Amino acid sequence: MPVFEYRGVNEKGKPVKGIIDADSPRAARAKLRKQNIFASDLTAEVNAAQSGLLERRFRLRSLFETVNVMDVAVVARQLSTLTSAGMPLVAALQATLEQQPKQSLQKALTKVRERVNEGLSLADALREHPRIFPELFVDMVKSGEASGALDIVLVRLADYLEEHARNSAKLKAVLTYPALMLTVAGIIVFLIFTKAIPQLKGIFETMGKALPPLTRTLIGIGDFLSAWWWMLALGAVAAVFAVNRYGKTENGRRHLDLIKLRFPITGELILKISVARFARTLATLLASGIPILKALEIVEAVVANRVLADAIQDARASIQEGASISAPLRASGVFPPILIHMVAIGEQSGQLEDMLGKVANAYDSEVATATMQLTSLLEPVIILLMAGIVVFIALAILQPIFQLNQLTTACAGFMAVA
């Protein structure tokens, strides 16, 4: 079906633009009028090739756009506000897409609005855009449509996505400074060894005297880096590529995720982040009316760790056989005891969602504290490492100079005696 690009105004007189699928320009204008949009400019498409060209042009515009979690959260919040005010869903989608600055998100919402206008449910229309709207988003919307509480579910979904985005932003902000320090330090050290040390080598060779071991080590490192830095760079790229390929296999991903969980210092932090994500996502899904088995299936993909995902999969199989939630989680040996105890209490009291929310809040606080402690530890470690390298370079350079001074002093004393 041809694709048309339009510009016009809506019923409130605000300028709008977008794309629409229709069999002909007349059909396109008719569809726009049904949506209370009055087109002033419509790019007519006469064949499939031109339609493809327009699609490629839109694709090129959105090539460098990234739809992040906060963008999707804003869409959920706006849809919730508009639908709770009694606005029809198609009109709410139109009003929402008009407020989107990103071309890729606007295009997706345009197609969602068209599909809903054709009689498709909102969840099924969103499911056609998995790169923007994840399975969790779609299933919660489906639950809200089935229960008649779409606006409430959208509010929960927006809260969940915004919390997830805030936690991710905090973690990135805290780790950015140490990462920047380490990068700058590495560049400085590399330049010293590859540019400054080779120049000093010529000065030391004019002394005509055997150099101290420390100085020879410094010159050797500089010569090696100057001659083979490209080989080290290629080796690093090859190692990253090999690990990435290995991580795409089932066993490889499981093995690497296990190493992440067992890695000193950071392993515990990764486990806390994953547990917090598990608890918050499961609490949000259950509160939205999604059955436990389907909720666990969604959470299995959200935790982003194959070891934990396998444990959730085993728990789901046990629950299908009639077991409680806490029993298979305890049997996995992966989840911390506090989570298992809170889940067991929630099952007995009928307040599982509240207990999972409390666990998520507790672990989010622990993650924030642990991240700050890790950052506080990394900064002095990086400074001490740089200080050690500077001391090593200084001693390696000064030792030959001291030896030369001693030799000069000895020669002067000998000449004075003579």
Percent of the residues in the chain that have a pLDDT greater than 70, as a whole number: 88
User: What value does the CA radius of gyration of the chain take, rounded to a whole number of Å?
Assistant: 31
Q: Are 22 and 28 in contact (CB under 8 A)?
A: yes
Burial-class residue 370 by CB neighbours within 10 Å (0-12, 13-18, 19+).
middle
Is the model's pLDDT at 297 over the cut of 50?
yes
Average predicted confidence (pLDDT) for the chain: 80
Q: Which structural domains are found in the chain, ordered by start?
A: 164-418 (1.20.81.30)
Q: What's CA 128's distance to the chain center, in Å?
A: 22
How many of the other CB atoms lie within 10 Å of CB of 186? 11
CA angle, residues 356, 359, 362, in degrees to nearest 5: 150
**DSSP secondary structure of 241-307:** HHHHHHHTSHHHHHHHHHHHHHSTTHHHHHHHHHHHHHHHHHHHHHHTT--HHHHHHHHHHHS--HH
Distance CA 165, CA 163 (A): 5
Positive or negative, the Cα torsion across 278, 281, 285, 288?
A: positive
The counts of H helices and E strands in the chain are: 17, 3
Lowest mean pLDDT among 165-179, 248-262, 331-345: 165-179
Is the model's pLDDT at 238 over the cut of 80?
yes
Looking at per-residue pLDDT, the higher value among 70 and 12 belongs to: 70
Q: What is the pLDDT of residue 47?
A: 46
Q: Which two tokens stand for residue 127?
A: 């499911």
Q: Which two tokens stand for residue 229?
A: 């830095």
Q: What is the pLDDT of residue 414?
A: 46
Q: How does residue 198 score in pLDDT terms, banded at 50, 70 and 90? A: confident
Is the model's pLDDT at 241 over the cut of 90?
yes
pLDDT in tens, 381-403: 888 888 888 888 888 888 777 76
Q: Are 390 and 196 in contact (CB under 8 A)?
A: no
Q: What is the pLDDT of residue 153?
A: 85
Q: What is the pLDDT of residue 48?
A: 44
Q: Could you give phi then psi for residue 41, rounded to 5 degrees? A: -145, 125
Looking at per-residue pLDDT, the higher value among 320 and 62 belongs to: 320
Looking at per-residue pLDDT, the higher value among 87 and 11 belongs to: 87
Is the model's pLDDT at 53 over the cut of 60?
no
Q: What is the pLDDT of residue 59?
A: 54
Q: Are 205 and 405 in contact (CB under 8 A)?
A: no
Q: Are 280 and 360 in contact (CB under 8 A)?
A: yes
Distances (CA, A) of 377 to 373, 380, 382: 6, 6, 9
**pTM above threshold 0.75:** no
**DSSP secondary structure of 324-339:** -SHHHHHHHS-S-HHH
Q: How does residue 1 score in pLDDT terms, banded at 50, 70 and 90? A: low
